[in-house]
């Protein structure tokens, strides 16, 4: 039989007042007792009206610890002198650290210190809270942490040491930390060496590129351990068991932003500590039955491919390189010819044009065996951009993202085709990414929710021998030498695969539903914050 959580109710002293404190296995609540209703000691069992009240879910308590008194520390860490009489009456203190919601999906760690009249009561409280925390089996105890010291503004190590490590220590999480020494260090370590059995999760401190390394390491390792061949595009991949945490310290941080709602290191660390779990889709990208890469956020050909290719040469500029290259690519206004064929997702309810958003608690449609018999669709033409967004791709540049209604874990990707149009119209389309306006409501844009797709560039219907880095450039320079003053576009762009350039233009993509899990819960609805942030809220 399941053990019932112990119920505790006491009158405890907090700041300058007496509170009725209650722990019921789900919630810890404390409610101020108006001065005229105070009971001197022991438990009370009747509801008390009036006074401020607070409530914290046990699942969002980080830790509880004893505190020596004679005075005490305030919630904001300042020394607080307590009234002599009350300190004498309640000399035994304990502090509870818990998650508090702040603005714009930010989480913060807050402390509340309760004072008890005797040591036995204090022990009872500490022990009971600890028992209830131990019963939360989804919380990680031992983590493997990779820090990219060169991501984003090169603050990775500092962010981890100052903001994250103290929180992990407070929550009694032990860590093995590796500061990477070169690109693909984390990927290769995970793929071949790391003793994964020792850990409850992997944390990366860096940007989307660093996260991508972790995904490649973990997914490849899992397939190898299970004898699955990644080179076969049709193969069903085995999901990874370890969850991944992202401490954002990169330039775009779109995976973190779209799964948590903000790119904030403390918020992400707290999601790891409370043991959140968010499944996510992963796209596999193949060329001629050879595995190229996995994509979790954006696969972009044309505009986003060209922005990335240009920005890679400007890494020294830091995150601003994307704006610089974005502006330059916008002015260049190249279009690319080719054919996109895709398998529409017919067995799901949503569409990319929905007004609904993927939010915390959304249960993704798990792949269903009975798809309607709808064949592949084909779209041919000249495109400014071909984007596949497997999730919204919300980021600080575009708070709603490339595909605002995309879901994190529904086994589909939103294929966005932007046909050749004027610069003015393309600018209108881009601008809509920065507001709530519908970027798909334009004649030259179409969007399909798909399970698989292929792209074949026009100039290379047989792309088997093509290596873009070599032949692509030659072809472009050839064309432009022939038309020195023309504004013709090169034959090929490159694919931007989560911030990495792919070596081929002709690719085949399949979505693997819920292949990985993150220490996140999806974006919480804002009203939840409004209620909980209000200190006067009713219990
Ligand atoms: C006029 C303002 C329009 C703003 C439109 C902004 C749309 C931004 C949508 C961003 C989507 C990011 C998707 C995430 C991709 C990541 O896996 C990847 C790795 O981190 N990041 C990038 O590839 C980094 C890609 C970064 C792309 C930045 C593009 C900036 C475009 C600026 C265009 C300026 C035109 C101005 C004309 C006057
Ligand atoms: N020690 C290292 N030295 C050089 N490169 C590294 C090192 N560790 C990781 N990398 C590589 O750095 C690249 C960029 O890292 P990261 O994603 O952390 O930052 P970013 O590119 O600034 O951010 P974003 O990906 O969000 O745009 C990654 O592709 C990763 O492979
Ligand atoms: Ca998806």
Q: What is the CATH number of domain 137-277+519-539?
A: 3.40.50.10330
Asked if residue 245 lies in contact with residue 272, where contact means CB atoms within 8 angstroms, the answer is yes
414 CB within 6 A, ligand 2: no
> How far is CA 75 from each of CA 111, 112, 261, rounded to the nearest angstrom?
6, 6, 26
pLDDT at 533: 41
pLDDT digits (tens, 9 = 90+) for 405-450: 998 999 999 999 999 999 999 999 999 999 989 999 999 999 999 9
Q: CATH 3.40.50.10330 in the chain, residues?
A: 137-277+519-539
CB 162: neighbour CB atoms within 10 A? 11
Pocket test for ligand 2, best of 148, 205, 251, 258 (most atoms within 8 A of CB): 148
pLDDT digits (tens, 9 = 90+) for 462-501: 544 445 544 444 444 444 444 444 556 788 999 999 999 9
d(CA 373, CA 406): 23
Question: In the predicted model, is pLDDT for residue 48 greater than 50?
Answer: no
CB 31: neighbour CB atoms within 10 A? 18
Nearest in space to 343 (alpha carbons), one of 395, 318, 379: 379
Maximum mean pLDDT: which of 22-36, 75-89, 159-173, 351-365: 159-173
Residues 275-280: what's their mean pLDDT? 96
pLDDT at 453: 97
Residues 328-351: what's their mean pLDDT? 90
323 is catalytic: no
CATH 3.40.640.10 fits 282-514, yes or no: no
pLDDT at 37: 57
Cα 1 to its chain centre, rounded Å, is 37
Q: CATH 2.60.200.40 in the chain, residues?
A: 282-514
pLDDT category at 74 given cuts 50, 70, 90 is very low
d(CA 329, CA 311): 10
Q: CATH 2.30.29.30 in the chain, residues?
A: 8-136
249 CB within 6 A, ligand 1: no
Asked if residue 193 lies in contact with residue 220, where contact means CB atoms within 8 angstroms, the answer is no
Q: For 8-136, which CATH class?
A: mainly beta
253 CB within 6 A, ligand 2: yes
Give helix 321-332 / helix 303-312 axis angle, nearest 10°: 130
Closest atom, ligand 2, to C-alpha of 206: 18
pLDDT at 67: 86
State the alpha helices, DSSP H only, in 135-195. Answer: 156-159, 165-170, 185-188
Average pLDDT, the chain: 85
pLDDT digits (tens, 9 = 90+) for 89-138: 678 999 999 999 999 999 999 999 999 988 999 999 999 999 999 999 99
Residues 453-459: what's their mean pLDDT? 92
Higher-pLDDT residue of 87, 324: 324
Question: In the predicted model, is pLDDT for residue 190 greater than 60?
Answer: yes
pLDDT at 133: 95
pLDDT at 315: 83
């Amino acid at each position: 039989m399941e053990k019932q959580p112990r119920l505790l109710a006491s009158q405890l002293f907090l700041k300058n007042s007496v509170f009725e404190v209650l722990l019921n296995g789900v919630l810890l609540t404390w409610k101020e007792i108006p001065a005229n209703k105070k009971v001197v000691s022991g438990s009370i069992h009747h509801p008390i009206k009036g006074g401020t009240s607070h409530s914290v879910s046990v699942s969002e308590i980080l830790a509880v610890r004893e505190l020596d008194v004679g005075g005490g520390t305030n919630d904001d860490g300042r020394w607080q002198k307590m009234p002599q009489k009350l300190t004498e009456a309640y000399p035994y203190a304990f502090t509870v650290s818990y998650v508090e919601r702040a603005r714009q999906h930010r989480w913060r760690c807050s402390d509340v210190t309760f004072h008890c009249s005797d040591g036995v009561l204090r022990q009872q409280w500490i022990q009971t809270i600890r028992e209830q925390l131990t019963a939360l089996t989804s919380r990680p105890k031992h983590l493997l942490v990779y820090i990219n010291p060169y991501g984003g503004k090169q603050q990775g190590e500092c962010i981890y040491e100052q903001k994250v490590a103290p929180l992990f220590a407070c929550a009694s999480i032990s860590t093995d930390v590796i500061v990477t020494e070169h690109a693909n260090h984390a990927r290769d370590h995970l793929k071949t060496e790391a003793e994964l059995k020792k850990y409850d999760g992997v944390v990366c401190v860096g940007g989307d590129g660093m996260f991508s390394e972790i995904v490649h390491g973990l997914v490849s390792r899992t397939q190898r351990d299970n004898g699955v061949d990644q080179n076969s595009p049709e193969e069903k991949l085995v999901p990874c068991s370890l969850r991944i945490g992202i401490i954002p310290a990169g330039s775009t941080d779109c995976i973190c932003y779209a799964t948590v709602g903000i790119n904030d290191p403390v918020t992400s660390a707290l999601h790891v500590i409370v043991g959140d779990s968010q499944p996510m889709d992963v796209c596999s990208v193949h060329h001629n039955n050879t595995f190229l890469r996995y994509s979790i956020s954006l696969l972009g050909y044309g505009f986003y491919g060209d922005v990335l290719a240009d920005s890679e040469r400007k890494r020294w500029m830091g995150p601003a390189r994307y704006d610089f290259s974005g502006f330059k690519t916008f002015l260049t206004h190249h279009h690319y010819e080719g054919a996109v064929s895709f398998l529409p997702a017919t067995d799901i309810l949503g569409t990319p044009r929905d007004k609904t958003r993927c939010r915390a608690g959304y249960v993704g449609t798990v792949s269903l065996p009975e798809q309607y018999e709808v064949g592949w669709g084909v779209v041919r033409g000249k495109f400014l951009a071909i984007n596949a967004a497997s999730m919204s791709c919300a980021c600080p540049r575009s708070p709603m993202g490339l595909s605002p209604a995309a879901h994190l874990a529904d086994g589909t990707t939103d294929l966005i085709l932007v046909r050749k149009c004027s610069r003015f119209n393309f600018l209108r389309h881009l601008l809509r990414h920065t507001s709530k306006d519908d970027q798909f409501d334009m004649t030259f844009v179409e969007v399909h929710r798909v399970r698989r797709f292929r792209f074949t560039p026009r100039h290379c219907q047989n792309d088997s021998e093509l290596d873009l880095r070599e032949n692509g450039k030659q072809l472009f320079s050839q064309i432009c030498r022939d038309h020195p003053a023309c504004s013709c576009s090169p034959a090929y762009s490159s694919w931007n695969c989560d911030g990495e350039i792919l070596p081929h233009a002709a690719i085949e993509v399949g979505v693997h539903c819920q292949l990985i899990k993150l220490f996140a819960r999806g974006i919480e609805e804002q009203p939840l914050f409004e209620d909980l942030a209000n200190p006067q809220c009713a219990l």
